[in-house]
Amino acid sequence: MNDTALERPFIPLAIAVLTVSDTRTIEDDRSGDTLVGRLETAGHKLAARAIVPDEIPAIRKTVEAWSRDPDIDVILTTGGTGFTGRDVTPEAIEPLFEKRMDGFSAVFHRISYDKIGTSTLQSRATAGVVRATYVFVLPGSPGACKDAWDGILDAQLDYRHRPCNFVEILPRLDEHLRRGATISV
């Protein structure tokens, strides 16, 4: 079922990593480093990296700009998915979704449950599509980033993964725009 077809070529994607934090810097951003390390090890390209504070306008501005960049295929965010007052990443990004990926959250929580039990309930991990760009909103812990990458993203962002993957439908994510329909994001 999780077959990787070796006869298909690997297609590297351009992936941006956004850390949402009031306290982290590039020097101590372990979650961002985890994602960058894993995407590069898989053969993908780091297209951009930034850290923004836990503020809706700052998060949204970066995601909107990156989603407009034709050289970015995927955006990974880390941080701000909990329940505290400063955790606002889902509120910043979900209104931008043209299509919501409900299954991502379900699978992420199943994987997380096996590792941290009911504590997985404290994450509001989510995903969707913004302007033909995949956006994955991950918790801020390195462990959660490892779980999301190793358990979901590594396979789904690999064109060789069968029976299907996100890469093979990437060119079709903006069909509605090419048909003349408009969206307001």
Q: What is the pLDDT of residue 1?
A: 45
Residue type, 108: F
CB–CB of 101/128 below 8 Å? yes
Strand pairing report for 45-52 and 14-20: parallel
Whole-structure pTM value: 0.92
Out of 16-25, 56-65, 176-185, least confident range: 176-185
Tell me which residue of 153, 156, 124, 129 sits closest to 139, measured CA to CA.
124
Q: Give per-residue pLDDT as tens, 64-107.
A: 999 999 999 999 999 999 999 999 999 999 999 999 999 999 99
Neighbours of 16 (CB within 10 A): 26
Q: Give per-residue pLDDT as tens, 137-185.
A: 999 999 999 999 999 999 999 999 999 999 999 999 988 766 555 555 5
CB–CB of 147/115 below 8 Å? yes
Is 106 or 3 the better-scoring residue by pLDDT?
A: 106
State how far the alpha carbon of 132 is from the alpha carbons of 51, 65, 172, in Å.
Answer: 23, 13, 8
User: Is residue 132 predicted with pLDDT exceeding 70?
Assistant: yes
